[in-house]
Chain A
C-alpha cells in the first residue's frame, strides 16, 4: 500500500512536471546578431537540463525593455527569470520582496569564491542576501578603430585618444566620419563616461560618481573632459544613425574611423567575420588610462509561488554560472566571464586585453552600481541635448554639476 501511494505520488509529480516541465520564460534585451547568438548558448544549456527555455526577447535597448520587465513583475505577471543590469535598478523590487533569494544555492556552489571581481556579487547582494546571478562582465571603456578607414588616409592606426583626435581632420577630409555615434542618450552618456575615466582619471570620477561631490564636478579635471567631449561632438557631427550596432557597422565598413562603445560591440565585429588586430583595433580606456568598469548583466528570478517553477529557476541559476556555459556564452557575446577559473584560450586579442587588465586589478565599479536610474536619466537627457546642440563645455559642466548635487 505504501509503495502504491508512493508510486501514485510520483506519478502525480510526473504528471505535473509534464504539464509544465520547468518551463521558464526568460526575458532579456539581447537582440542584435552577436547577442542573439550568445543567448542561444544559455537556452541550449538550460534545455539540456531537462527544462525548457521560453525566449522572451524584448527588442530595443535596456531603456525600452526594463520598464516592460518591471511593470510585469509589479503587475503580478512575473516571468521565470529576467536579465537586468545589476546594481540599483532592482533595489526596490528586492525591498518589496518580489525577487527570489538565491543565497542557499550561492552558498552550496561557493559563488563568493568563484566570482571575480567580487564587486559583481556585491552588486547582487542586498542586506547580506544574494538575489541575482552575474553572467558576464561588460565594460564601457573601449574605442574601436577601423583599419580600413585609417588605411584610406595613409595614417597608422592611432594607439590613443590624442593620436585619434589629431588624425580626425584628415579622416573628415577623406569623407569619413571620424567618430561614429548613435544618436541616443545612453550611447552619448556612455561615451562621455569613457572619456571621463580616460581624461579626468579615476580619483576625480570616484569623487563625483561615488561621493556625489558637486565641487569636483565643477573642477578643472571635469572641465578637460567637457572640452574633449566638445571635440568628440564635432567628430561625430555627420553620424546620422540611431542604434549602436548601426554605428558599429559604420566602423566595420570603414565609413567611420572609430566608435566609443562597450565591449558588446565585439560581437558585431565577430559576426561580420572581422579579426581583432587585423581588421579592427580595440583600445581599452581610450589607450590613455587602462581601467575597465565591471558592470554587466545579471539574471534575477521573480518570486513565483510554484514548486516546479522554483526548481527550474534554481536549475537555471546554476546553469548560468557553470564554467562551460560561461565560456560558450562569453565567447559569443564578447564579454568577460564572471569566474576566474575558466579557460579562455579561445578568446581573441581584445578579450585577452580585457582579461589582462582584470588580472592586473585595473577595475572600477560601474556607474549603474552608484547612480540611481533617476540620476542616470537626468544625465542622459543632458547628454542627449549636449551632443545635438552647440551647448558650450562650461554650460554643460555647470548643469552636470547641478545634477550631481541633487543626486541621491
Chain B
C-alpha cells in the first residue's frame, strides 16, 4: 500500500500546479468581483448616474452633496457612536463572561449555550424582538411600571436622542456570545503551568488576567476585533428591522443611506459616492493597523 502511494506521488511541480488550478476560481472572483466591482463603483461615483449607470462625469459633485446632506452626517455620527460602544462593550463583556466561565464553574455548558444562543438568530429577528422588548406599552417599561414603579420611563426607540443606544443594546445582545466563545477558546489555549507559576509568585487572579493572560491572547483579540469591526461597518438589517431609521432620520446608518439612494431614490451616483466613503473609512482604519501589525517587524 504505502509503496504504491510512494510510487505515484506527484512531482512537486504538479502538486503546485493543482493547488494553483484549484485557487484560480477564487483568484478570479477576487479580482473581477471584488477589485473590479470596487473600481467600477468608485469610477461611477464621479458621474451623475441616476437609475442606470451612465458615464457622465461631474467631478466631485456627488461628494459635495453627500457631505452637505444632514441624513448622511447623522448616519456617520450614529455609526461612530454605535461603533465605539459596540467595540468596547463587546470586548469587555465577552472577555468577562469567558473569564467567568473559565473559572470551572458548574453548568458551564448550559451558560455557554445561553450566551451563544442569540447569535443563532438573524439580525432581523433580533431587531423585531428588541423592538417589542423596548416598546413602552409591551416591554421593559410596562413590566417595571406593572411592578409598582409608575414613573419609570425607558423608551429609547421613540426618543431621537438615544435611539442608537436602543439599537446598541440589541446588537450587543446578539454579538457578545460569539466573542465570548472566541475568548473562551483563547483562554483554554493558555498553558495551565502559567496559572501555577502566577500562583507561586503570589499574583492575584485579576492581575494575572490583566497583566499576563490578556497580552498572551493578542491573536485572539485581533480576531475578535476584526469580527466586531466588520459587523459595525456593515450594520444595516438590525436598524431596518428595529427602527427603520426612525424616529425621523435619527437612527440612520451609512449602509442604509447607500441602499436607499441607489434603489429607492434611483440615484446611483449618490449611492456610489456614499459607498466609496464607507470603503475609504475602512481603508483609513485598516492600512495603519496592517502596517503596524505586519510591516514594522518581521515575525518568523
Contacts and interface: CB of A to CB of B under 8 A. Distances in A.
Interface of A: 63, 66-67, 70-71, 74, 89, 91-93, 96, 183-184, 240, 242, 372-374, 376-378, 381-382, 384-389, 399, 406
Contact of A388 (B250, B263, B264, B270): B250
B52 A384 contact: no
A263 to B, nearest CB: 24
B248 A387 contact: yes
B224 to A, nearest CB: 35
Contact of B264 (A66, A96, A386): A66
Interface in B241-267: 244-250, 259-261, 263-267
Contacts of A406: 65
Contacts, number: 74
Contacts of A74: 52
B160 A389 contact: yes
Contacts of A240: 158
Nearest to A67: B263
A91 B265 CA distance: 13
A388 B248 contact: yes
Given A388-B160, A388-B250, A389-B160, A377 B264 contact: yes
16 contacts: A66-B263, A66-B264, A71-B263, A74-B52, A89-B266, A92-B51, A183-B247, A372-B50, A376-B265, A377-B267, A378-B69, A385-B248, A385-B250, A387-B248, A388-B249, A389-B160
B70 interface: yes
Among A63, A372, A373, A381, chain B packs the most CB atoms within 10 A around the CB of A381
A96 B52 contact: yes
A242 B241 CA distance: 12
B266 to A, nearest CB: 4
Contact of B71 (A91, A96, A242, A381): A381
A92 B263 contact: no
A242 B51 CA distance: 28
A384 B244 CA distance: 11
A183 B51 contact: no
Contacts of B158: 240
Interface residues of B, number: 25
Given A93-B51, A374-B50, A385-B70, A67 B250 contact: no
A384 B263 contact: no
Contact of A374 (B160, B244, B266): B266
Nearest to B52: A92
Chain B interface mostly: loop
Contacts of B71: 381, 385
Nearest to B71: A381
A92 B266 CA distance: 10
A373 B266 contact: yes
A378 B249 CA distance: 11
Contact of B265 (A242, A377, A387, A389): A377
A29 to B, nearest CB: 13
A96 B51 CA distance: 10
A389 B70 CA distance: 13
Given A240-B158, A378-B265, A384-B248, A70 B51 contact: yes
Contact of A384 (B65, B246, B267): B246
B156 to A, nearest CB: 13
Given A374-B266, A376-B265, A388-B246, 9 more contacts: A66-B263, A67-B259, A92-B50, A184-B246, A372-B50, A374-B270, A377-B267, A385-B248, A387-B248
A299 B120 CA distance: 41
A183 B158 CA distance: 10
A44 B70 CA distance: 47
Nearest to B48: A408
B158 to A, nearest CB: 6
B60 to A, nearest CB: 15
A74 to B, nearest CB: 8
A67 B50 contact: no
B171 to A, nearest CB: 21
